[in-house]
Structures are given as structure tokens and as C-alpha cells.
Copies of this chain bind each other. A is one copy, B any other.
Amino acid sequence: MKTYTEYLTFHTRRRREYLHITPQVESALRQSGVKEGMALVSAMHITAGVYVNDHESGLIHDIDQWLEQLAPAQPNYQHHQTGEDNADAHLKSMLVHHEVIVPITAGRLDLGTWQRIFYAEFDGQRDKRVIVKIMGE
């Protein structure tokens, strides 16, 4: 059994941003040498997410608007009594989820034709990390 760990760092210019990270996960997979197994891709923050969906800018815009509608930025969260102003980012992170597991078959990420891995930043403009943990043989 092999395991391999890589930490990716992202620093977005905007507060909310959606980054396509399939290439970085593929690169980690090549480094790992794993042929059959699973790759865990997990945000190490509570105001960010990782998801699998379409690499299409219109849809990414729709996702952003939809998340803002379901978990709006507004002042009246109790979390803000701690001095924070990012409660909406926590809720958006919970909606999107902070991690995915991608199957590995014959040395490749076994994704469907249109499936791509994204890092979803909801409180950016600073260094944030994603762990890629690969396990298999």
C-alpha cells in the first residue's frame, strides 16, 4: 500500500473565487505512483470548499449567485459578535462541502467526461491550503 500527501496553496484576488484544480490533483497522482485507489482532495479551511462539476464560466457564475442566495452575506449572524464578518462563507462552505474523493483507476483520475475538480474560495485574499491525500497501490 502506498500513500502520498501534497499541500496546495491558493491566494485569490477576490473574496469569492472558483479555481479549476484538476491539473494539480493529476500532478499529485503522477508523483504518488498509485495505479488503483482513491484521492482525497480537502480544503483545510472552514470558509472554503472543494467540489466536482462543470468547467463552464456561465455555470460557475450561476453557482456563485445561487450560493449567495441560499447563504447570503449579511451583518446579522451571531458569529459576527466575535468580530468576524464571514459567517456566510462558513455556510457556503457547508453547502458545497469541503472535500471530494476521486477514484483512481489504471493510474488516472477516474472522472466522467465533464467532471472537473474545483476549489471554491468564500473568504479569500490570503493564503489558504488544500490537502491532496492519495492512497492505493
A interface list, Cβ under 8 A from B: 1, 3, 5, 36-38, 40, 42-46, 51-54, 56, 58-59, 61-63, 66, 70-71, 77-82, 87, 90-91, 93-103, 105, 110-115, 129, 131, 133, 135-137
Chain B residues with CB under 8 Å of A61's CB are 78-79
Other-chain residue from B52, B58, B78, B136 in contact with A81 (beta carbon distance below 8 A): B58
CA distance A38 to B131 in the complex (A): 12
B59 near A87: Cβ-Cβ < 8 Å: yes
Chain B residues with CB under 8 Å of A91's CB are 62-63, 66
Tell me how many chains of this kind the complex includes: 3
Closest Cβ of chain B: how far from A20's Cβ, in Å?
13
Chain B residues with CB under 8 Å of A129's CB are 112
The list of the 3 closest CB pairs from A to B, nearest first, reads A44-B112, A58-B78, A103-B133
A137 to chain B: closest residue by CB: B1
Main secondary structure on A side of the interface with B: mixed
CA distance A35 to B85 in the complex (A): 37
A110 near B46: Cβ-Cβ < 8 Å: no
Chain B residues with CB under 8 Å of A96's CB are 94
Q: A42-B103, A112-B46 are in contact. Are A77 and B62 (CB under 8 A)?
A: yes
CA distance A131 to B87 in the complex (A): 29
B90 near A63: Cβ-Cβ < 8 Å: yes
